[in-house]
């Protein structure tokens, strides 16, 4: 027989509740995104929507190349400082 800590069941219940909330939010965001794409495609037309998608992709690519995550320096130089 395994003795559980007091409140262990409540903790697991909170974990599952928070997981359900997170997954529900992601699903709702996905559905809203699909609706946005349909509205934008109809409003802009095929040519202009294609331009929008290309510009968005280009911005994401450039942002990924230029972006500097600050935690890289913390990990690199922090490890040397602790050693």
3-class DSSP assignment, residue 64:
helix
For 28-64, the pLDDT digits (tens) are 999 999 999 999 999 999 999 999 999 999 999 998 8
Residue 67 has pLDDT above 90, yes or no: no
- 52/41 Cα distance (integer angstroms): 10
Tell me the domain boundaries of the chain: 8-82
Number of residues in the chain = 83
Considering only residues 74 and 39, tell me which one the structure prediction assigns the higher pLDDT.
39
Q: How far is CA 35 from the centre of its chain?
A: 19
> From the CB of residue 28, how many other CB atoms can be counted at a distance below 10 Å?
10
CB 53 within 8 A of CB 41: no
């395994």: which residue's tokens?
Answer: 2
């Amino acid at each position: 027989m395994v003795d559980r800590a007091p409140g262990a069941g409540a903790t697991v219940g909170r974990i599952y509740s928070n997981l359900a909330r997170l997954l529900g939010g992601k699903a709702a965001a996905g559905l809203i995104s699909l609706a946005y794409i349909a509205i934008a495609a109809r409003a802009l037309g095929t040519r202009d929507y294609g331009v929008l998608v290309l510009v968005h992709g280009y911005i994401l690519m450039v942002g990924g190349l230029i972006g500097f995550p600050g935690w890289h320096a913390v990990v690199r130089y922090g490890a040397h400082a602790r050693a």
